[in-house]
């Protein structure tokens, strides 16, 4: 085994292609959603009675932190769904080429940015 082979362990110097960035973000949003499930279940449990529902409404109306948490979770859901649809299309041999993969990854990122802005308007309007 060649012990003198070059190694580059500095991730800041590695240039990732757009499909790799899209795939990594898809995995990250999956982890975010996994950790968001207890928060969402707590909000569901709170909203099942009228007093808890009005408490949640007040909490989201007055607290920037909870508004940000709601925006972050919904944005993660949007990205994960959009990237998941891309993966399903690739399973059906649509966008399997190198150029198709690049275009699909760019489309996922652009649609997710639009969704993030739209969700921000929805949460903070």
DSSP 66-85: HHHHHHHHHHHHHHHHHHHH
Residue 44: pLDDT band (50, 70, 90) is very high
Interacting residues of 100 by C-beta distance below 8 A, sequence separation 6+: 94
**C-alpha to C-alpha distance for 123 and 66, rounded to whole angstroms:** 10
105 in Cβ contact with 21 (< 8 Å):
yes
Which CATH topology does 16-124 take? 3 helical TM bundles of succinate and fumarate reductases (1.20.1300)
Q: Are 33 and 76 in contact (CB under 8 A)?
A: yes
- CA distances, 34 to each of 31, 82, 89, 104, 119 (Å): 5, 17, 24, 25, 20
pLDDT of the residue at 121: 97
Indicate the average pLDDT of the chain: 93
CA–CA dist 85, 69 (Å, integer): 24
pLDDT of residue 14: 79
Position 7 scores a pLDDT of: 75
46-84 per-position pLDDT tens digit: 999 999 999 999 999 999 999 999 999 999 999 999 999
Domain ranges of the chain: 16-124
| Whole-structure pTM value | 0.86
């Amino acid at each position: 085994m060649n012990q003198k082979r070059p190694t580059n362990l500095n991730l800041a110097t590695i240039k990732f292609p757009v499909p790799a960035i899209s795939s990594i973000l898809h995995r990250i949003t999956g982890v975010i959603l996994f950790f968001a499930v207890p928060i969402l279940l707590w909000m569901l449990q709170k909203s099942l009675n009228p007093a808890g529902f009005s408490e949640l409404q007040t909490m989201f109306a007055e607290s920037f932190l909870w508004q940000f948490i709601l925006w972050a979770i919904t944005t993660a859901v949007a990205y994960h769904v959009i990237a998941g649809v891309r993966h399903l299309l690739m399973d059906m041999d649509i966008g399997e080429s190198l150029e198709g993969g690049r275009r699909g990854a760019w489309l996922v990122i652009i649609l997710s940015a639009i969704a993030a802005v739209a969700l921000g308007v929805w949460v903070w309007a």
